[in-house]
Amino acid sequence: MKAPWSATARQRRQAGQGSWWSGLPGVVYLIALVFLPLVIIFVYSFLSRAKLGVGVKWQFSLTPYTELLFSESLSGGRSFDPTYLQIIANSFWYAIITSVVCLVLSIPIALWLATRAPERRTALVFAVTIPFWTSLLIRTYSFIIILNDNGPINGLLKGIGIIDEPIAMLYTPFATVVGLVYTFLPFMILPIYASAERFDFRLAEAAYDLGAAKWTVLRRIVLPSIRPGIIAGMVLVFIPALGSYLAPELLGGGKTSMIANVIAAQFGASRNWPFGAALSVLLLVITLLVLVIFAVVAKRASRAAGRGGWEALI
């Protein structure tokens, strides 16, 4: 019997190792609840809008995709409408800012963590991960308290007399970026830390010995060595940031919609499922493209570094 799933007969017969088919229920379940939903979204994106808005009408249509670029006036005429393009551009912009801010914050802390004594290090790394395991909704909501006009930050600034009027921070793009950075920071810190921990500090010592001062050692020796971690971190931050929903929803005050908020609206108040599906397909395609680009960059980087890099990391 040579099922495509099974490994060689010898491997399969090894005592107690179990068999490939024990993974079958999991695979079937994931096909049904991960793969199938994506297929349905893809199909829906080529159908027409249902009368009442919930669900779809089974009639082929390309309208969901043309709606991305054109709006239909009441008279039936089409005109170019950059609203959604703008939102896609916004999403990219926010994702880029978020990744860069996360990177700038993560390199120092990752290196700092990696140079602590081993016992303290484990505890500190765990401390970095704890917030990640608490409810994102609650953490994002907390910034409503922190950033609002009467919140602790404005209170503090007023208290020490720096400002008279509160600074409007909540419901601005700034609040959205703060929320996004907060959400994804651990995803940048951890892979960079993993690289930094493996960095051989004897290389830094050799560089010092050859006359390099601190920042030169950082720039020319340490950063190139932790590049696999940086690339992995960029993937892990940029891609989910692109599809973020909660931070812009709760902190942006409707002024900073990202793709995910528009998708959600199509399945909620706006009631245009095919269009929401088309946007989802677009978001997925963008996600995959970005993933491929990063993979190519990473491969080139690891080849340049002389040994396998980021594949080992993930």
Partner 1 sequence: MTMDSMPTRGRKRRRNGGVGPGLRDFPTFKAVSYLVFVFLYLPLVVVVAYSFNSNRVVSVWRGFTFSWYSEVLGNDDIQRALFNSLRIGVVATIVSVVLATGLAIGLLTMARAGRTFAWTLIGAPLIIPEIVFAIGTLALFVQSRIPLGVNAITLAHIAFCVPFALLPIRARLRGVDPAVYEAAADLGAGEFTIFRRMTLPLLAPGIVAGALLAFIISLDDFIVSYFLAGPGGTTLPVYIFGMIRNAVTPGVNALSTLMLVASILIVSLSYLLARKRR
Partner 2 sequence: MCLTSTISEEPLDASAPALSVRDVTKTFQTPEGGQISALDSVSLDIADGSFMVLLGPSGCGKTTLLRCIAGLESPDSGRIDLRGQRIDNMPVWRRRVNTVFQSYALFPHMTVAQNIAFGLQMDKVPGDIIKRKVGESLDMVHLSGLGSRKPSQLSGGQQQRVALARALAKEPEVLLLDEPLSALDLKLRRGMQSELKRLQRETSITFVLVTHDQDEAMAMGDQVAVFNDGRIVQVGEPREVYLRPCSRFVADFIGEANVLTGALDTYGLVIESVGFVPRDRLMPDTQAALGQVHVAVRPENVSLQLDPVGSAKIIDVSYVGGDMRVEAVAAASGTAVNAAVSIVSRVPSQGVQPPRIGDRVSVSFAEGSLTVVAD
Window 206-225: residues binding partner 2 (CB under 8 A):
206-213, 216, 220-221, 224-225
β partners of residue 56: 49
Q: Does 37 bind partner 2 (CB under 8 A)?
A: no
The entry of partner 1, partner 2, none that residue 143 binds, CB within 5 to 8 Å by partner kind: partner 1
Q: Does 16 bind partner 2 (CB under 8 A)?
A: no
- Residue 70 DSSP SS3: strand
The entry of partner 2, partner 1, none that residue 210 binds, CB within 5 to 8 Å by partner kind: partner 2
- Binding positions for partner 2, 117-176, rule CB under 8 A: none
* Interatomic CA distance for residues 112 and 89, integer angstroms: 35
Q: Position 192: which residue type?
A: I
Q: Does 64 bind partner 1 (CB under 8 A)?
A: no
* Interatomic CA distance for residues 188 and 92, integer angstroms: 18
For residues 73, 74, 77 and 80, what is the CA-based torsion angle, rounded to 10 degrees?
Answer: 0
The entry of partner 1, partner 2, none that residue 304 binds, CB within 5 to 8 Å by partner kind: partner 2
CA angle 276, 280, 283 (to 5 degrees): 140
**Shorter beta-carbon distance to partner 1: residue 33 or 162:** 33
Q: Position 116: which residue type?
A: R
* Interatomic CA distance for residues 118 and 19, integer angstroms: 39
**Shorter beta-carbon distance to partner 1: residue 51 or 74:** 51
Q: Does 313 bind partner 2 (CB under 8 A)?
A: no
Q: What single string gives the DSSP state of each residue in 40-106?
A: HHHHHTTSEEPSSSSSEESS--SHHHHTTTEEE-TTS-EEE-THHHHHHHHHHHHHHHHHHHHHHHH
**Shorter beta-carbon distance to partner 1: residue 73 or 129:** 129
**Shorter beta-carbon distance to partner 2: residue 149 or 205:** 205
The entry of partner 1, partner 2, none that residue 297 binds, CB within 5 to 8 Å by partner kind: none
The entry of partner 2, partner 1, none that residue 16 binds, CB within 5 to 8 Å by partner kind: partner 1
- The residue among 53, 35, 80, 98 whose CA lies nearest residue 265 is 53
Q: Does 304 bind partner 2 (CB under 8 A)?
A: yes
Q: Does 239 bind partner 1 (CB under 8 A)?
A: yes
Binder among 72, 149, 200, 311 for partner 2 (CB under 8 A): 200
Q: Does 144 bind partner 1 (CB under 8 A)?
A: yes
* Interatomic CA distance for residues 111 and 127, integer angstroms: 15
Residues forming the site for partner 2 (CB under 8 A): 200, 202-203, 205-213, 216, 220-221, 224-225, 304-307
